[in-house]
Structure 1
């Protein structure tokens, strides 16, 4: 019988629908913005806007399909060796993912299976059923996290650059940026909560103040870095070279850690490249190890960038020294950067839910050694 703290509840089911709505709105607003740029003959902006959408969709489809295949080939998940999973054959899986329906397929399965549990008497289902739902939700949250950093974060950077650097302002742009921002926020919190809930040896992330402080830490540090990158791009478009170098450094660092997330070497290389993108904007623990020193060094560099970018723009482009926008953005960068770092310290010193269970105590959770468990354990840890 499931206990109160182990249930996949109606609220979680409803929040899954909210996440789906945010995801769809974010993509469609970006597509609408790309069409607007194309109509106005801003072909580079249009191409970049579409490119980020395609990059997010493509990478998430690749990983989603690979995870389905891993689960299908795993003897513990599929002991009978069935050629279908969740009612889909290998051909059907390939077809759905080829047309970008991978995430929507996962949303359908989670909502469909979850509705059978949460809209009936919860005590009629064992713990394992609820735990399986959390694992489905965690797989989905992993994909949403990748999509957020491959599509929403770069999209926010691009649109802010266009608004601030070229004085191109429109309602559609602001709607697109707002949707990207909310999609990032949702992906971060949803992933954090799903990850901790699906791993039995880690305490679940409490609601309320810990979640709010964690969200502020992530959003403030990411926002300040995006604004700093925008100022550097305003200084020179060749700053994209520096961003590329940062991505390469993140990818190389991930490679030196010898991550073991994917079931094939080619996918592992893609995974490390994607993590490099994420590390360009925020810190994540790539292997779930103690990374206190790495985190301190990362955010020291983060703070240096946030101080340097406004100073360089003011010194090298003196015509912008008295511009209200530059002064406002500089103050915003400094303010949210400090707030984010304060929230980081408060969260990890006072509010972080420390794990109390040991792996040996994991007797009624997921079976250790399965592909789905390995996937969760070997993914990013905040």
Structure 2
């Protein structure tokens, strides 16, 4: 039997299916909320909600199609040099992605291939063939998890921000709004942890992320820091929406410029690389990621120093410019959450990277064969965002 750290398990397959259900729930609650806003006459909120859905959908289709095209030339994903990948021709790929079915197509192929490998008998395969099959599943899972990460920060995160602002502004919320916020939170949390674990398992030279306490601490660090950012943005929206638009534009521009200065080489074409850098810049407005896989301790310190200043000053700015909110219950509660989440997020960040972050490189049993198919298969993986 293959070692657990290189085996795509039944538990992993079931979690993939659960991730599909969360993704569907998040999309449909947001669509329902957009329709509700439209019927209630809140046209701006409806347009914003729907535009975030479209943004996440558009970006994921672009990269999903590009990666399928790359897989046609990949030695592991298409070892026989066929004109189709995962049973789909180039024409079918275009049609599926134009219909917005990119992520669903990847879920289908991952669940279908995973079912054959982990649930059905594979006694006819030798050890090398089993290892290749499981590694291929992790490559597919990592592609899917990064698309889900893009969708989480292009759709779920701004969606959550808008809904929090609407609840603050009107002082009440409907069931659909609460469901949308809950599914957005779960989608962000799931995307972060799933991406971290899938990426580390798909890279044969990097030690996987241990389950249990390290995963929980990592999740808490991300959720506390991201939630403090989102809540601080929501208070700045109450000052004036233009304040948040300007702030996010500046942060996005800085993040995009940073990815340009680091000369990211993730995509196979120049146009896709420019889109990728823009997406990375937007993700950096909510959380930090290591773009090039190098030591970024100083960059991380600067990033969270600036974000902490923004989070801490947003309640003070709102209280100064709008004194009438100082005694409002929502202001006191949200300010408390911002301060506590910022501190707890930094505490869990330090705890994770000092004591729980896997640093040792993993040694493979067939290390001398590293120049074979497994090395080729990790080309795109090696250039993914490193949490």
Question: What TM-score range do you get, normalising by the shorter chain?
Answer: over 0.9
Q: Residue in 1 aligned with 2:118?
A: 118
Q: Residue in 1 aligned with 2:67?
A: 67
**Residue of 315, 322, 327 corresponding to 2:320:** 315
Residue 7 and residue 366 in structure 1: after superposition, are their counterparts in 2 closer, same or farther (change >3 A)? farther
Q: Residue in 1 aligned with 2:150?
A: 146
1:161-202 CA distances to partner (integer Å, 9 max, x unpaired)?
111123341111011000000000000000000000000111
Q: Which one is further off, 150-159 or 112-121? A: 112-121
Q: What are structure 1's unaligned runs of at least 5 residues?
A: none
Q: Residue in 1 aligned with 2:135?
A: 131
**Residue of 305, 321, 345 corresponding to 1:300:** 305
Aligned-pair CA distance for 1:323 = 1.1
Q: Residue in 2 aligned with 1:185?
A: 189
Mapping of residues 247-266 of structure 1, within 5 Å: 247-266=252-271
**Contact 2:65/2:97 (8 A) holds in 1:** yes
Mapping of residues 90-239 of structure 1, within 5 Å: 90-121=90-121, 125=125, 126-239=130-243
- CA distance in 1 between counterparts of 2:101 and 2:78 reads 23
RMSD (Å) for aligned C-alpha atoms: 1.7
> Does residue 375 of structure 2 align to residue 363 of structure 1?
no
Q: Residue in 2 aligned with 1:267?
A: 272
- CA distance in 2 between counterparts of 1:131 and 1:253 reads 32
1:192-226 CA distances to partner (integer Å, 9 max, x unpaired)?
00000000111111110000000000000000000
Q: Residue in 1 aligned with 2:19?
A: 19
Q: What are structure 2's unaligned runs of at least 5 residues?
A: none
- CA distance in 1 between counterparts of 2:4 and 2:369 reads 18
**Residue of 294, 318, 330 corresponding to 1:289:** 294
Q: Residue in 2 aligned with 1:245?
A: 250
Give the 3-state SS of the residue equivalent to 2:33 in structure 1: helix
**Contact 1:7/1:122 (8 A) holds in 2:** no
Residue 115 and residue 264 in structure 1: after superposition, are their counterparts in 2 closer, same or farther (change >3 A)? same
Residue 340 and residue 122 in structure 1: after superposition, are their counterparts in 2 closer, same or farther (change >3 A)? farther
**Contact 2:72/2:82 (8 A) holds in 1:** yes
**Contact 2:76/2:374 (8 A) holds in 1:** no
**Contact 1:366/1:373 (8 A) holds in 2:** no
Q: Which one is further off, 276-285 or 319-328? A: 319-328
1:1-52 CA distances to partner (integer Å, 9 max, x unpaired)?
5223321111100000000000000000000000000001111100000000
- CA distance in 1 between counterparts of 2:183 and 2:371 reads 36
Q: Which one is further off, 111-120 or 258-267? A: 111-120
**Contact 1:2/1:122 (8 A) holds in 2:** no
**Contact 1:201/1:362 (8 A) holds in 2:** no
Residue 369 and residue 131 in structure 1: after superposition, are their counterparts in 2 closer, same or farther (change >3 A)? closer
Give the 3-state SS of the residue equivalent to 1:238 in structure 2: helix
Aligned-pair CA distance for 1:355 = 2.5
**Contact 1:2/1:123 (8 A) holds in 2:** no
Instruction: Output the TM-score relative to the length of structure 2.
Output: 0.95
Aligned-pair CA distance for 1:80 = 3.7
- CA distance in 1 between counterparts of 2:339 and 2:54 reads 33
Length, aligned pairs only: 381
Q: Residue in 1 aligned with 2:337?
A: 332
Residue 4 and residue 243 in structure 1: after superposition, are their counterparts in 2 closer, same or farther (change >3 A)? closer
Give the 3-state SS of the residue equivalent to 2:72 in structure 1: helix
**Contact 1:30/1:176 (8 A) holds in 2:** yes
**Contact 2:218/2:352 (8 A) holds in 1:** yes
Aligned-pair CA distance for 1:81 = 2.9
